[in-house]
Structure formats: C-alpha cells, structure tokens
Amino acid sequence: MDETKLPKLFNQSTFSYRILGGATVLRPNYNGNRVIAAGQQNFQLLAIKEVDGTEQFVKEHDFRNGFRSSNTALQPTDIAWNPHDETCFASASTAGLLNIWDIQQPILNAQVKIHNATINRIQFHPTNQKVLLTASQDGYAKLIDFRTYNTNKVVASFRHVSEDGFRDIQINPENPFLFAAALNDQCIVPLWDIRSIQTPVMVLTTADRTLCLAWNMNKPYWLATGGRDRTIRVWNTQDSNVRQEPLFKVQSFGTVSRLSWRPSCHYHIACSTLLVDPRIHVWDVRRAYLPYASFCHHQNTIGDFSWRPNSDNLLSISRDENLVHAHISSAIKTDQFAPLFSLNATSKGHVYSAMPNIDNDYIRALYSEHHIPTSFTGLKKCYSEEIMSTFLKWNKTIPGKSIVGIYANSSIDNSVESFHKFARGWTFGNGDKSSQSLIEICDMNSIVAEQLQRPDLRATWEVIKMIYADCDGLQAYRMHSSRNTPSTTKNRHISDSLSGHRHHHHHHHHHNYLQHIASMANSTEMQQQDNESNEELNGRKRVKSQDQIIPPNSQMEMIDDADTYIVRDVLTDDIIFITPEDALNIMNGYDMLYENEYDIDTMHDGMPMASNETPSIINGDSDMNGLPYDRVSNRYHDAIMTMKENEFGPVPDFDSPDSAMPEPMPHMLTDDSDKFFTIDESYCPTMQNHPLIFDDVIKQTIWYYVENNELQVAVHLLLALYPKLGDRKILQLFSAAHFNWIKIYIELLQKLRLFVKAKQITKHCLEKEKIPLNYDSSDYDGTLILAAQSPTLKRPTTSTIPSSTKNPSSTLKDFMCTICRIPCRGVFSFCGVCFHGGHIDHIRTWFNTHDECPYGCGHRCKDRDTQNRRSRGISQRFTSKSPFVFQQ
Amino acid sequence: MVNDTGGETRDHQTAVARPSLLLTGLRRSGKTSIQHVIFSKMQPSQTQFLESTPQLTSNHFSCGSFINIQIQELPGQLHTFPSSQSSSISGGNSGQASPYDDDTNLVGGGYNMERLLKQCNAVVYIIDAQDDYNQSIARLHLIIQLGRRVNPKIRYEVFIHKVDQLSEEVKRETQRDIHNQIRDRFADSSGAIDPWLRTSFMSNSNSQEILINFHLTSIYDHSIFEAFSKVIQKLLPQFGQLEYLLNHLLSASNIERAFLFDIQTKISIATDSAPSDIQIYELCCDMIDLLINMSEIYGQPNINCIQDTECEDDDSNNEPVMNGNHSSTTNSCRNSSLGTTPITNNPYTSGIETTNEPASNVFDSMSSSIIKLTGHRALYLKEINHHLALICVLRDEALSKQAIIDYNVEQFKEYILKLFRLNQENSESSMSS
C-alpha cells in the first residue's frame, strides 16, 4: 500500500505476450521500455507501450524474419544492451560469434568471431560503451574493445587454471574494473581485475558448482551466488579473507539458475530455479526460510527473468511460451500464508507450539503504524487473551495411529520343549513399579529369546524397554540438550532463523519420526515395514504428527525469546516416516486433527474467526473408527490440501488482494528500514512435554501375539508391563480379555507339568498385581482355549473383519478325534483351516503317511505348512505356523 | 593435458594414447565399490560384502573402441607412504629430501607411486565422509605433493564419498572443511618449504598448478555416476568437439538438452553446454534402464540384426548397413497417451552377443525410444553405436517435426563416428610410429 503512494514510474498491471517456446534470454533495455526475448526459436524486439490506457507488449521487430537460413546468430545465447546507446545491443551465439545489432534499421552491424565454443554471457562495460566482456564455454573470458583495429578486437583474455568454461560473469556496477565469474565445474567464484589478467584478485569458495551471479546495485560489494546446491549466498567482496562465511545464506527450492536483486530494495533478491519450480521467488536475504514474495504467473519452468529497471515490475519468460510483466504486488506473499499458530508433536513426547507474541515490537509496530485500522478486529481477536490462553493451555489429546512393525518369525518352533524353555527362562518381575526393574525384565527376557533363537521376540522386548523404560532418561536428556543450545546460537540470528524455522513452515520437507519399533526391528534383521515415504511435492510438505499425546499432567513451559531456537534443535531429529499404506490411517488422524480448523477456514474470508472453540482441536472422546472413512476424507479433503499446518487463525483477508481491507502485513516495514522483524520475533514458540502413550502400539502388539498363537509372549508382555500401565489402562485396552489369557497360560503351564511356574504366575498375579483370577478348573476343561479364544479374537471396534458366526462353545465343546472318534481331552491338535484334528499321537501317525485331512474333507492340511506361512494375517487367524495347533 | 579446445593438444593426446585414471583413497573408503557399481552394475547394497582389494588393479573403460580410458585402483592399505606423515612433512623442511623418502617407501611398498602418477592424467581420490578424514587428507596431501613434482598436469578429483547418510548441511560443512584443510596444508607446507610453491595455492593465485575438484558422491544415488562422468569428460580429448556437435544439434533441431551416454555404465561422456542438473541426469539414467529392461523382455532375435551387430563389432562403423537398416525398420508406432508411456521401443534385438558387455546385448543399431512426460517434456533416445546412446530432452511440440530430428540425429551420428574413427586412426598411427 505504500507502494501505491510511490510515484508511479510504471504501470503495475500484469500483462503477457505470447512467444514461441524455448526462449531462454530476456533483456529489458536500460530505460525499461524495450525488451528482447530470445532463444532457440525466438529473437524478438518488443516495446512496452501504453495502448488504450494500458501497457502492453508490442512487437517491434522479429530478427528471425529477415534471414531464411538457420543462422546461429539468430539463436542468441545472451543479449546485452549498450548502456549508452539505446539503439545498440549485442548478442552472443553458440558458435562463439559476437553480433552487434542496431535496432533503428534492424540490421546486423558487425559480427566477430571471439570464441571457439558457446558464449554463455556477454556484458557491456558500464562506463565505457566500446568495451564488452564475454564469457564462453571454451574456458576464456575475453575483453573486447571495438576501438582496436585487430581483427578479433580482443584486448584481454582471462582463463582460470582449471580451464573450465565460464558460466556467468558480471561486472561490478561500482567498480567497473572488477568482475566476478562463475565457472563450469568449480566450486569457487574468482573475481578478476580487468587490468590484470594473470590471476584473480580474489576467490570465493562456494560449496557447489556456481551457475549464476549477481552484484547488488545498492550495496556494490555484495555478490550473490547461486548454484547446484540450491543455496543463494551473499558475499562481502571487501572481505579478502579466503575463509569468509557468506553474509547471508538462503536455501532455495532447486538448482538456482538465475539471480537478480530487486532494484528498490537491497535486501531482496529474485531467483529462479533450473527445472522444477515454475515460480520466481523473491527472497529477503535476512529471512532465509520463507520467500518474501513468489511470482506464480507461469505454468512451466522459468526460462529467464529480469527486473524492469528502476521498478518493482518483473519480466519473465517461461517454457509455457508466455512473456509476463508483473508487479510485485501481484506476487504471492508467502509469509501471509504462514499460519499464525502452529503445533508440532514429536515422537519424543514434545509438543511445540508457535504462536503470535501478544506483546512485542512487531505487534506494537503494526498497531502504531496504523496498518491495522481500528475498525478491524480480526487481528486483535487473533491475538486476544482469550485465544492465547486457550492455546497455551491446549491440552487435548491428539488421537493418532501408530504403525506396528510386523515381525516375521524366522525360526518356527512350536514344540512343547520351547514352550518349556520360555516358561522357565522368562521372568516377570516382582511387582516393582520402577523403570529399572522393567529394564531388567526386558533385558533378561530378550537374552532368553535370543538364546532360544527367536530374534523377533528379542526385538519385541527391546522395543518395550525402549518405549517404557528408556523414555524417561531420553526426555531428561533432550530437555537438557535443548536447554543448552540456544546460548551458542543466539547471536547468529539470521542463520538461526534460517535453520530454526525451516522445520516450521510448510514449504519445507518435514519428516517426522515415530518408529522406535521399526528401527528396532531393523536392527534385528526382521521383516518390517519400510516406513519411509518421500512426499516431495514441489517442496511442499504436510506436517503430520502421528503420536499420541497424553495431556492431563502435562506441564506447559513458556519459553522466552532466548530459547526461541529450541525448536530447531529438537525437530531435526524427530522424524516420522509414514508409509503410503498408512496414509489411510493418517488421513483419519490428520482429518481429526484439523476438524476444527476446517470450520475456521470456512469462516475466515472476511469475517473474523470464531474464537472460543478454536483450541478444542480434538474431541478427545471421539472415536474415529466410528466415522465412515470416506465421509471423513471427503469432507476434509480440501482442508488438508490447503492447510499445511495448524492454522488456528489465519490473518483474515490475506489472500484477497482486492479486499477493502488494507494489508495489515508488515512487509512495508521490511524495505530498507531498520525495523525488520523476522517471524521469530513475532512468534513465541513454546514447548510442552507430554509423556507419550504407546498404548496403541502395545495393544496391537499383544493382540498380534495372541492371534498368532504366541500366548506365552503376550502374557509375559502383559505381566511385565502391568506395573507400568496399571489395572485401569489394561482393562481399557484389552477389555478384560487379558484375564482369560493369563488364566489360559496358567492352565497351559499346569498341563505341561510346569506346576511351579504356574503357581509363581498365579501368585504374582494375585499378590503383586492384584489381578483377579477367578480360577475355576471346571470352566476350563479340554476345550478351554478355543472357547476362550474365539471371543477374544473379536477385536473390539477396530476390526472390520466379521467375527466368527459360529457359536464356539457349542460346536467345540466336544472335539472329536477324527481318527478314533473319541472326544479329545487334554492336548490335541487340529488343522487351522478345516478344523479337523484329534489326539496328537493319532494325527502325527496319520500325517506321517498322508497329506490330506484325516476327516476326509479333502483339505491338504500338510501343504499349508509350506505355503502360507508368510501371508498369515488377521483373516487367517486360526492358521498357525504349523498345520496344527496344540490345544488342551 | 586434456584440453577442451582439443586441436592444440592433439599431439600430446595421441602420444599418451590412453588417458589413465588413478583411483585411490584410504582403505575401506569405497574405491572398489564405486568401480563395481559403475562398471559391473553391482547393486549398491551388495558392495558392503566386498573384500578390500589387496593389490593394484586395472580396469578399462571403453565405449566400443571409441574411448579407451584406463582406470587403475591403488589400494589404500598399501604402505605407499610412511606411517608418520608428520615426520615426512617436517622432514620436508630440509628441502628435497622428503620426496625422496617417499619414493623409497613407495618402491618398498611394491608400487612405484611416482611412476603411477607420471602415467596418469587424473587422480580420483576418495574420502570417506562418514569417517574421520584427517588421515585421508594427509595422504591426499602427500600424493599431491608428489604428483606436483613428477607430473604437474594431473587433475585431482576428490570424491567426498558416502554422503548419503549425511544431511544436506553436514554435506556442505564437510566439503568446506575438507577444502579448507587441504588449502591449509598447502599454505603451511608451501610457506615452510620453498617460496615458489607459495604462489601456487595462495588465495590470490589460487592453485596455479594444482587443480582439485570436489564432488559429493554416494553409490546409493546417481551422484557417483555424475561425478564420474565429469571426470571422464575431462579426460576425453574429443569432449570439446562433442560438446560443439551437441550444441549444434540442439540449435538445429529445437532440442533443449542433449547427452551422450555410455549405455553400459551410464556415464555421460558428453553434454551440451547448458548447466546440468542432477535431476535431468537421473531422468536419462532411468530412461536407459527402461529401454534396456524393455528390450530384454520384449526384444527378439533378428537375423538381420545379428549380422548387423557383428559387422558393427568388427569395424565399429558400418554406415551403409546401419543406415539402410534403420530406414527400413524404424517403426515409431506413435501412441499419444498421457504420462510416461514409452512410445517406441524397438523390439528388434540381437540374440547373440559377441562383445564383452552383456548388458548391451539388446542394444543395437535400431534401438530408439521416445518417452513423453507430463509437463510438455519428452525424452528421445537414439543409439549412436553399440555402446553409446544419444538422449535428448525436448519439449513435446518439437516432436511434431520428428523427421527433422531423426535426420539431424542421423547426421550427428555419422559425424561422431567419423570423429572417433579419426581419433582412433590418429592414435594408432602414433602408436605404430
């Protein structure tokens, strides 16, 4: 809006012109009223004229018309206007020819062969109109003086020792004797003095191959370089220290192919990338994590762009065959889309929230400069005490889903012997609730598991240990480390903001990390889900938090400005990898997460947001499984796509340039004024520590083992975790099914004559954990497991699999041996598919000689052993690793 | 010394006849892995099982008979240098003594480092970025010092290797740190030893003698291929001409980018002069994979082709047959469906293979492919000879004049074959003389 008060040099309208494809050079002349667009199929001179009150591109001449034959002179690789003679310009060609053109009677004035290879860049000397500098692929940069009489006019040749070709050159606008060069395969930028051709006066060391350069017009010793490493660096060329660090560093979105400083603000630099990004970003070098503005007028890769001299208008050509003239006001100011509030949850149990600071210079400046009319209450409301406090006290649970790694059982040994061994080896603690005892239990049990060649079980125990026992120490450590770092980084404000907030705004890739489990499984050679997915969509990324956060006893810490940068320190490590197949689940959780924002978003256009229910992000009791999936996803699909982070209250009207509301945004403050506010200043991040709840993980794990006939493992896990989780939680998780498991296990132990162990467990349960075991042996006779298992196998609500329609108690009460036709008592076995079986001895002898079911149903029970081991899943819950399940 | 401008250094080139590359680095830094991944298509994950190489090995990179580059791998664990580098550096204060010390040790180790360096045109030094690289840098410093004495024209390419585990920032920091350390060593040693060296690596006259390029590489992505391509390109005497030819093809056919790839190794031996991007490189590599895989599945033995390829193997250029065959059998059944559908995959392949590269046995004179991508981009692949393929990136509008492109590519192919044949004759004559 201040821009509108400025004397209008040029029209601010956006207009475009259709050109042929493949244009890669665009050069406005020094007055800004003519422009040449050139490339493989183009060589046009266009004028920018006012026609019918609006500015337009008007074609003045097409140089390709005059020549019939394919002439390399007509496919310029670069164009340079003569700064002192506006009728004259030079073009370079792939054949190393330099052509001088006159636009008055459009003709080729002169043609000089300078180089043996493509000329990549030419530039007229800023003060001496007869002198021109060329940079070529053949490894030479040459100074051309048209006043000399020798044939090729070359007065000086510059060559780097590496003999690499020159990619770009630019003469310093202030000191016309100094020029900087970008070399093809070198990660250095030499600066030459035109008067001494031997060696560069100075060499800057960049990190990767540099492709482009730009001197700052207003700060003549600032040199910006950009290249393959996607980074724009701004150097102080007065500092001759060879090891100097760049003044500013900006991470761009792709290989930087062209840079240009904005004429009206010496902190702003526009950059385009080589391949990916159809946008031209204008970066404020002081704020490296978010572009100041983005020109999004093109649909395809940018060929070239240039600021129209002395204006805020940007001219650009792209592969989509358009030449566009656009004012910066038509560019998208990315920071206005940055959410005011954002939350991030990490796997280590931290919740980070960033929110606007109510009382700081930035807000005061906003108000004092009357960028916000008093009538406008939206921002005030945004910043109101009420919202801030609710936000601060935000303590709702985020229902999340965790992914359980699927362990493959490498060695299948279902023998009674191994059951004995495990029963003897595994311990279940003494009821001590401390983490230490859990660690001991887990260590012990994992050692036993390894000895018995069950690395998968070992991994399980170690994961349990990691989740429940180690996490206290982990959190203490993290708190400690995050407390320590800010002091060292505080004074480097810019770079901090660069790295610190990279993880915060939605343009950056954001991985989260959850899987302790997965990583553990990985370490023990187990089949696991590959939990990585790269969702790189043009640098956009959704933040997904997947953890369950438990609120009630959380303690909120307000972090003062000194600790602002904690965020970076922690977030870099905490990465959740999400598999595509989990996207479904995540979608659910994610939708829930944004349910309320969605509502706000619908409201936000024009109207200030509704306030009081904002922070109640999640209805803590809502069970998303109750919601039909498609309804959820359809309804919130838009919300997900548009909002990358929690947007509790977007600043109203930010996306409607034609809104009646003047822009309440601070960007006017940024131009050259000292009052530059980074987002750091306007935000006060806080960190909360919540103990993470892995209930879901445990639940799934134990269910997994129960369903896969590893009742022993499940019970031992339960017993080990009992002190940690507590009665209530376990009851809630397993809905009393676990009583049965324990009882069955005790029963099994007894049947296998492990009476001591059975007694130990009974005692442990009754005395230490107060588990009510109403042991009544008459209830649990021979068919006990099947009777007990069928109801337990109905997963409470999550399971979509229809539960067995059989009435297990009636059909299975008398399990008849198929061989001898006598009801089975004690241990017997049956096929997991056809449910036929009988006494172990009978069945064993039968299958010594047969493959088919002894009952005569035709099922080849024995074959299943080899076929279906891998694809065992919930749907085949009765199948086991061996064709027969031992039961009693 | 290899020179982009070509002509003036022709004499030198032909005398050398075979550019040679010395691949070295500390033990377990990944030298053998790199070779296996590039030259024998080993899966990167398999390389961890490789044993360390005990002795000097030699490998040849050759695109048919066009290019002939010798790659020598000098194992890191050989005691080519005294164990205490510091003593040799401090011993260097006394003038020329130190290099001779090195020499005796080199010979004692079984390999004459000096001779190796004298013979080679470039040294690829591999630094394990995940390891402590101080020792590695010390060794590199010694090699460079020795190399500067015996063969000042060597290029040094430092691969900062195994960077796949590092974050973007750590990569840059590592590279910068290594760069600075090397520079410091030269600043120190040159300041201490003799004054003429001082000018050679000081800031104002940056590395007048020594050329060190840094590449961040990893065998788990395409960066190693790209870095190796750069090294190979620098060694190719014909690179300047190839680049010129490609540029010419670009401007004549309205193509955006053009690459000349070795099918077998996915090394690009030449590109046009536009700035390269790893993404395009990856795209081209994937296209080669696609073509080879498709051809291996659907390729059928063709009697004509067998003859054809055999002729090609004999002479590496049998233009009349190739041209005739091309015009008669090129069938580009255009299928303008969207996405990344391969449109033309020539099914005619040779059943028997007489060359030593097995992967190229389905790649023959009629191999060509056009892939249309979203975003109005298309890829155009055409065989040049049995080992080389031209890959062009172009806008799909340009394909409307595909006949022109085909013709131009055919001309280009002819020129390239001529160029290499000329080169070969040159080197042969110089060898025989």
- ipTM at complex level: 0.72
pLDDT of residue A497: 35
Domain check: are B84 and B132 in the same one?
yes
- CB distance A257–B275 less than 8 Å? yes
Query: How many A-B residue pairs are in contact by the CB < 8 A criterion?
Result: 111
Per-residue burial over A692-731, b if 16 or more Cβ lie within 10 Å, else e, is bbbbbbbbbbbbbbbbbbbbbbbbbbbbbbbbbbeeebbe
Provide the shortest C-alpha distance from residue B193 to chain A (in Å).
22
Most confident listed range (A170-184, A459-473, A516-530, B88-102): A170-184
Asked if B176 lies within 8 A of A205 by C-beta distance, the reply is yes
User: Rounded to an integer, what distance in angstroms lies between the CA atom of residue A35 and that of residue A56?
Assistant: 12
Judge whether B277 is closer than 8 Å to chain A, CB to CB.
Answer: yes
| Whether residue A351 sits in one domain with residue A442 | no
Which of A185, A276, A298, A571 is the mutation pick for testing B, counting most B CBs within 10 A?
A185
Give residue B258's pLDDT: 92
- Chain A neighbors of B213, CB-CB under 8 A: 162, 185-187
- If asked whether residues B280 and B193 sit together in one domain, one would say no
Indicate if A27 and A75 belong to the same structural domain: yes
Q: Do A759 and A843 fall within a single domain?
A: no
CA of A204 to nearest chain B CA: how many angstroms apart? 9
Tell me: do A392 and A458 sit in the same domain: no
Question: Three-class SS of residue A733?
Answer: helix
Question: What was the pLDDT predicted at B392?
Answer: 92
> Cβ distance A136 to A128 under 8 Å?
no
pLDDT-derived band at A648 (thresholds 50, 70, 90) equals very low
Q: Are residues A349 and A459 in the same domain?
A: no
Count of domains forming chain A: 4
Most confident of A169-178, A344-353, A404-413, A775-784: A169-178
A876 lies in a domain? Answer: no
Minimum Cα–Cα distance from B278: chain A residue: A228
Q: Region A639-643: what's the mean pLDDT?
A: 32
Produce one character per residue of A223-238: b if its CB has 16 or more CB atoms within 10 Å, e if not: bbbbbbbbbbbbbbbe
φ and ψ at residue A231, rounded to 5 degrees: -115, 135
Which of A563, A513, A111, A496 lies closest to A346, judged by CA? A513
Same domain, A221 and A140: yes
The tens digit of pLDDT for each residue in A367-399 reads 565 555 545 555 555 555 666 666 566 555 544
A228·B278 Cβ contact <8 A? yes
Task: Classify residue A837: in a domain, yes or no.
Answer: yes
Domain termination site, one of A712, A733, A767:
A767
CB atoms A207 and B278 under 8 Å: no
Which chain B residues are closer than 8 Å to A229 by Cβ? Answer: 168, 172
Q: Which residues touch A428 (CB under 8 Å, ≥6 apart)?
A: A441, A716, A719, A720, A761, A764
Question: What is the layout of strands, in order, in the sheet containing A166-171?
Answer: A166-171, A178-183, A188-193, A202-205
Residue B9: the pLDDT is 37
Are residues B74 and B109 part of one domain? yes
For chain B, give the number of residues.
Answer: 433
Q: What is the dihedral of CA A751, A757, A761, A766, to 10 degrees?
A: 90
Of A139, A207, A240, the CB nearest to B4: A139
Same domain? A222 vs A288:
yes
Claim to verify: residue A402 and residue A461 sit in the same structural domain = no
For B201, the domain range is 2-232
CATH number of the domain where residue B161 is located: 3.40.50.300
- Can you read off the two tokens belonging to residue A312? 């805020």
What is the average per-residue pLDDT within A709-730? 78
Q: What is the pLDDT of residue B259?
A: 92
Contact state of B204 with A201 under an 8 Å Cβ cutoff: yes
Whether B200 has its CB under 8 Å from any CB of chain A: the answer is no
Count of C-beta atoms within a 10 Å radius of residue B37: 22
Which positions ≥6 away from A750 have C-beta within 8 Å? Answer: A758
Q: With an 8 Å Cβ cutoff, is B216 touching chain A?
A: yes
Residue % of chain A over a pLDDT of 90 = 5
Output A858-862 pairs: Cβ under 8 A, ≥24 positions apart.
A859/A831, A859/A833, A859/A834, A861/A831, A861/A833, A861/A834, A861/A836
pLDDT reported for residue A259? 92
Residue spans of beta strands (DSSP E) within A125-266: 131-136, 141-145, 154-158, 166-171, 178-183, 188-193, 202-205, 210-215, 222-227, 231-236, 248-251, 256-261
Q: Which chain A residues are within 8 Å of B179, Cβ to Cβ? A: 187, 205
Asked if pLDDT for residue B190 goes beyond 50, the answer is yes
For B203, which of A21, A165, A242 is closest by C-beta distance?
A: A242
CB contact under 8 A, B4 and A117: yes
Name residue B146's amino acid.
L
CATH of the domain at B243: 3.30.450.190
- The model's pLDDT over A47-76, given as tens digits with 9 standing for 90+, comes to 888 887 788 888 888 887 766 555 666 788
pLDDT at site A456: 76
Mean pLDDT of all residues in B282-296: 88
Residue A593 pLDDT exceeds 50: no
Q: Which of A199, A171, A172, A167 is nearest to A183 (CA)?
A: A167
Give the gap in angstroms from C-alpha A120 to the nearest C-alpha of chain B: 9
Distance CA B34, CA A559 (A): 49
Which residues 138-167 of chain B have a CB within 8 Å of chain A?
167
Task: Say if residue B358 is exposed, middle or buried (CB neighbours under 10 Å; 0-12, 13-18, 19+).
Answer: exposed
- Tell me the β-bridge partners of A281: A271, A294
Res A609 pLDDT > 50: no
Looking at the fold, whether B195 and B276 belong to one and the same domain comes out as no
User: In terms of pLDDT, which residue wins out, A498 or A261?
Assistant: A261
Q: Which of A646-655, A682-691, B171-180 has the highest mean pLDDT?
A: B171-180
B331 within domain boundaries: yes
Per CB-CB distance under 8 Å, the chain A contacts of B244 are 116-117
The pair of three-digit structure tokens given for residue B124, joined into one six-digit string? 């690829």
Q: How confident is the model at residue A607 (pLDDT cuts 50, 70, 90)?
A: very low
Q: What is the pLDDT of residue A841?
A: 82
Write the residue in A94, A203, A229 that is nearest to B203 by C-beta.
Answer: A203
* Number of separate domains in chain B: 2
Tokens of B50: 């490789």
Cβ–Cβ below 8 Å for A137 and B252:
no
Question: What is the pTM for the complete model shown?
Answer: 0.58
Q: Which range (A364-373, A734-743, A831-840, A865-874) has the least confidence?
A: A865-874
Q: Structural domain of residue A853, as residue ranges?
A: 814-863
- Please indicate, yes or no, whether residues B68 and B29 belong to a single structural domain of this protein: yes
Instruction: Give the three-state DSSP class for A97.
Output: strand
What does the pLDDT read at residue A361?
Answer: 57
User: How much is the pLDDT for A595?
Assistant: 35
pLDDT band at B254 (very low <50, low <70, confident <90, very high): confident
Q: Are residues B327 and B381 in the same domain?
A: yes
Same domain for A167 and A109? yes
Q: Say whether pLDDT at B105 is over 60.
A: no
Whether residue B211 and residue A162 make contact (CB cut-off 8 A), yes or no, is yes
Look at residue A44 and give its three-state secondary structure: strand
Task: Choose the mutation target among B203, B208, B256, B374 for the interface with A, i.e. most A CBs under 10 Å.
Answer: B203
Query: Residues A468, A473, A474, A480: what is their CA dihedral angle, to the nearest 10 degrees?
Result: 150
The verdict on residue B350 lying in a domain is no
Q: What is the pLDDT of residue B25?
A: 84
Distance CA B232, CA B254 (A): 27
Q: What is the DSSP letter of A257?
A: E
Of the candidate ranges A103-112, A406-415, A722-731, B151-160, the one whose mean pLDDT is the lowest: A406-415
Asked if A253 and A273 touch (Cβ cutoff 8 Å), the reply is yes
User: Dihedral angle at the C-alpha atoms of A188, A191, A195, A196, nearest 10 degrees?
Assistant: -40
Q: Which residue of A has its CA nearest to B279?
A: A275
Q: What is the per-residue pLDDT for A161?
A: 79
Summarised one tens digit per residue, pLDDT across range A270-295 is 999 887 788 899 998 887 878 888 89
**Residues within 8 A of A (CB atoms), B 225-244 only:** 230, 234, 240, 243-244
Instruction: Say yes or no for a CB contact (<8 Å) between B280 and A275.
Output: yes
Q: Contact at 8 Å (CB) between B76 and B29? A: yes
Please indicate if any CB of chain A lies within 8 Å of the CB of B213: yes
B80 and B129 both lie in a single domain: yes
More confident: A562 or A333: A333
pLDDT at residue A590 tops 70: no
Q: Of the spans A333-337, B10-14, B382-386, which averages the highest pLDDT?
A: B382-386
Residues of chain A with Cβ-Cβ distance to B275 below 8 Å are: 167, 209, 211, 255, 257, 274
Residue A107 resides in a domain: yes
**Rounded to whole angstroms, how far apart are CA atoms A792 and A5?**
74
In terms of Cα–Cα distance, which of B210, B197, B198, B205 is closest to A201? B205
Q: Is the pLDDT of residue B23 over 60?
A: yes
Q: Are residues B118 and B261 in the same domain?
A: no
CB pair distance less than 8 Å for B180 and A243: yes
B99 with B20, same domain: the answer is yes
pLDDT at B24 over 70: yes
Q: Enumerate the H helices of B151-211 as residue ranges.
A: 168-192, 195-201
pLDDT-derived band of residue A452, with 50, 70 and 90 as boundaries? confident
Cβ(A521)–Cβ(A407) below 8 Å: yes
Q: Is B341 on the interface with A (CB under 8 A)?
A: no
- What residues in B contact A257, CB-CB < 8 Å? 275
Helix (H, G, I), strand (E, B) or coil at A482: helix
Per-residue pLDDT averaged across B60-65, rounded?
69
Q: What gap in Å lies between CA B151 and CA B143, rounded to an integer?
A: 11
Judged by DSSP in three states, B247 sits in helix
Would you say residue B347 lies in a domain? Answer: no
Which 3 state secondary structure label does DSSP give A639? helix
The yes-or-no verdict on residue A870 having pLDDT over 80 is no
**Whole-number pLDDT of residue A787:** 35
- pLDDT at A670 > cutoff 50: no
Residues of B with Cβ-Cβ distance to A499 under 8 angstroms = 169
Among candidate residues B253, B207, B245, B197, the one with its CA nearest the CA of residue B388: B245
Q: Do B207 and A185 touch (CB under 8 A)?
A: no
CB contact (8 A) between residue A40 and residue B211: no
Which residues of chain A neighbour B279 with C-beta distances below 8 Å? Answer: 275-276
pLDDT reading at A218 higher than 80:
yes
Q: Which among A186, A274, A275 has CB closest to B213?
A: A186
Q: Where are the beta strands (DSSP E) in A810-883?
A: 828-831, 837-839
Residues B199/B193, Cβ–Cβ less than 8 Å: no
Q: Do A284 and A346 fall into the same domain? A: no
A80 lies in the same domain as A125:
yes
Using a CB-CB cut-off of 8 Å, the residues of chain A touching B254 are 22, 40-41
B204 and chain A: CB distance < 8 Å anywhere?
A: yes
Averaged over A691-703, what is the pLDDT? 72
- Which of A359, A384, A407 is the last residue in one of the domains? A407
Helix, strand and coil in chain B, % to nearest 5: 50, 15, 30
Residue B73 has pLDDT above 80, yes or no: yes
Q: Is the minimum CB–CB distance between B10 and chain A shorter than 8 Å?
A: no
Q: Which residue has the tokens 């560069």?
A: A200
Residues B266 and B223 in one domain: no
Tell me the pLDDT of chain A averaged across its residues: 65
Instruction: Among B3, B214, B248, select the one facing A187 at the smallest CB separation.
Output: B214
Residue A59 has phi, psi (to 5 degrees) of -75, 125
Least confident range of A321-325, A380-384, A596-600, B185-189? A596-600
Mean residue pLDDT of chain B comes to 70
